[in-house]
Amino acid sequence: MADIIQLLPDHVANQIAAGEVVQRPASVVKELLENAIDAGADTIKLIIKDAGKTLVQVIDNGKGMSTTDARLSFERHATSKIRSAEDLFQLHTKGFRGEALASIAAIAHVELKTKQETDDVGNVLVIEGSNITSQDVVVTPTGTSVSVKNLFFNIPARRNFLKSDTVELRHIIDEFHRVALAHPGISFALYNNGSESFNLPISNYRQRIVNIFGAKTNEKLVPVEEDTEVLNISGFVGKPEFAKKTRGEQYFFVNNRFIKSAYLNHAIASAFEGLLKTGTHASYFLNLTVDPQTIDINIHPTKTEIKFDDEHTLYALLRSAVKHSLGQFNIAPVLDFDRDPNLDTPYSYKKTETSVPKVEVDRSFNPFQEEKTSQPRVSNYKKEPTESWESLYVGLESKGNHSKQEFSAISFESEERTASIFDDDKQVEKTHTTYQLHNKYIVSTIKSGMMVIDQHRAHQRVLYEDFLKNLTVKEAASQQLLFPLQLHFSPQDIVIINQLKVDLEHTGFVFSSVMEELVEITGVPVGVPESEVSIILEQLVSDVENEVPESHFSASDLLAKSMAKSLAIKTGQSLQKDEQEHLVNKLFACKEPNVSPTNRTTFITMSVDELDKKFI
């Protein structure tokens, strides 16, 4: 039998490796930014076009590469960080696998310009699909510039799996934030389609957070500091009153490397226990410094997951450090009494000497001795003889008859009752009774049996069709606010709100101004409570960033879905009888009452025959 196992060609092996390292344009951004940091740069620029599909370029002022190093950097498993297997447990740099540039070059057009400080001219390499097409000298500043163009040009199937530009740009900005937050001592800039999105100067950690997420973030931060032999913790957590519905602002950095850890996230949630509203998540920006020998970074291709030697100790230290900070800055309740300023000594009496109060006692006082008065008491009050109790009711009968005559002449203003077409008995039979089960379902009787309605999904369907109608007709009613509502958002969130502003106005929102980090609202849709406005807009921005639903839906549909989800009656909310009946009637007045806006069942029916079978 002929041999059937053969070695893969290099370009195919590189494309397979690229599938692990490069999943989307954001993966390229992460690898190139980390290479720039490892090169010792203190100024890094990131240039994006068409959400990275057309161009991802990273320019740094690091130490650059020689001609030989520039050529070798695109070979698989070529790295300057590792010499032996033991070095994997002494890592102080970002990239160490030697796969990033080789994987990127296998699926894109890459141009590399690099120059060392001691050289007069630099080198330029042009690579297309792992093939080096040219290498020449070039005049370029000290450092390295890597341009990645036409990502996945030779793998169209992978390119088709990419999301819309909005979603891909969101992932790129997330990676940019993670790297920029981990290195406040480096200046970063991000340019998207020719316009500057971020310009982050060298600063301290708190200022870096404020520069990224907006000036209003400064008042939300609570510092966390803990120094032990096992672990050093530094950074900030957000105050509980500023907790968000989404998990966007949650960052763990271990030895200046962003990681994801559900276990450590649970430690933070445990520290905030009892301080957060249901369904909200605390923000945190925490740097953990541990001995490199106690962690293993090399367990995931993207290096966002780390294995710790002793997770239980880290969990306990992290939880106690956060709880201590919340208590120290009077965020969490502590065993202390609030000082009442009303009990303080008035300012004018502070230096006045106090006198000891004296008690005078009449030693000759005898409680058993009759009181002697010089003049007898004179009383004009004469006690009337008490009549029998029957006399109290004499004459009430006649007074009662008189009052009946008076009340008979009184007329009440009321609406006229129109005669019913049906008899009372028949009308009772037509009335459908409803019952709320566990504050989650509405049970209603129907001719064939009974119907169970999910109140949250049913209300979503009702609100969704109302909002969609208002967006289509563009004639939504709005209720004016007595005082303008000012909401603070990050600059990237403001961009999304500006995109949705027109559609939001069609639903009933009235914007007086939308500034760089501030939105001022003077009117909201009818029935929307003022306290829910910030939650609605936060949820809406999150849905647009994550494209829920996907891009083939219209913006109006997305907006209607997001607002319906935010404003719908929640599970656990008690409803009165008339509210239950109103919801049932509104549901079956919808075009598609069977499913919620997210295509989930809103109600089920159970016939009498099915119930009978249960008792057999």
Query: Using one digit for the tens of pLDDT, what is the confidence trace for 77-90?
Result: 666 655 555 555 55
Residue 43's pLDDT is what? 94
Query: Using one digit for the tens of pLDDT, what is the confidence trace for 185-226?
Result: 999 999 999 899 899 999 999 999 999 988 888 888 999 999
Across residues 576-602, what is the average pLDDT? 90
Report domain extents, the chain.
10-200, 213-328, 436-605
Angle between helices 455-473 and 577-587 (to 10 degrees): 60
Residue 430's pLDDT is what? 46
Residue 38's pLDDT is what? 87
Query: Using one digit for the tens of pLDDT, what is the confidence trace for 35-44?
Result: 899 888 999 9
What's the gap between Cα 499 and its chain centre? 20
Residue 139's pLDDT is what? 92
- Is residue 516 helix, strand or coil? coil
Quick check: 423 pLDDT over 70? no
Closest to 507 in 3D by CA, of 451, 434, 560: 560
Q: Which strand (E) or helix (H) includes residue 428?
A: helix 424-430
From CA 445, how far away is CA 426, in angstroms rounded? 16
Location of structure tokens 């080198």: 123
Quick check: 523 pLDDT over 60? yes
Kindly report the number of other CB atoms within 10 A of residue 577's CB atom: 11
Across residues 97-120, what is the average pLDDT? 86
From CA 478, how far away is CA 603, in angstroms rounded? 31
Kindly report the number of other CB atoms within 10 A of residue 247's CB atom: 11
In DSSP notation, 58-103 reads: EEE-S----HHHHHHTTSTT--SS-SSGGGGGS--SS--SS-HHHH
Residue 574 CB partners (closer than 8 Å, separation 6+): 436, 439
Residue 427's pLDDT is what? 45
More confident residue, 389 or 244: 244
- Given this chain, do its domains 10-200 and 213-328 carry the same CATH topology? no
- Is residue 13 helix, strand or coil? helix
The burial of 483, by beta-carbon neighbours within 10 Å (0-12 exposed, 13-18 middle, 19 or more buried), is given as exposed
Query: Using one digit for the tens of pLDDT, what is the confidence trace for 448-485?
Result: 889 999 999 999 999 988 888 877 776 777 888 888 88
What class, spelled out in words, does domain 213-328 have in CATH?
Answer: alpha beta
What class, spelled out in words, does domain 10-200 have in CATH?
Answer: alpha beta
Across residues 431-445, what is the average pLDDT? 83
- pLDDT class of 75 with cuts at 50, 70, 90: confident
Residue 134 CB partners (closer than 8 Å, separation 6+): 124, 125, 126
Across residues 355-363, what is the average pLDDT? 80
In DSSP notation, 219-288 reads: GGEEEEEEE-SS-EEEEEEE-GGG-BSS-TTEEEEETTEEE--HHHHHHHHHHTTTTS-TT-B--EEEEE
Quick check: 397 pLDDT over 50? yes
- pLDDT class of 172 with cuts at 50, 70, 90: very high
* Domain 436-605: CATH superfamily, name plus number: MutL, C-terminal domain, regulatory subdomain (3.30.1370.100)
- pLDDT class of 232 with cuts at 50, 70, 90: very high
> Which residues is 232 bridged to in the sheet?
227, 289
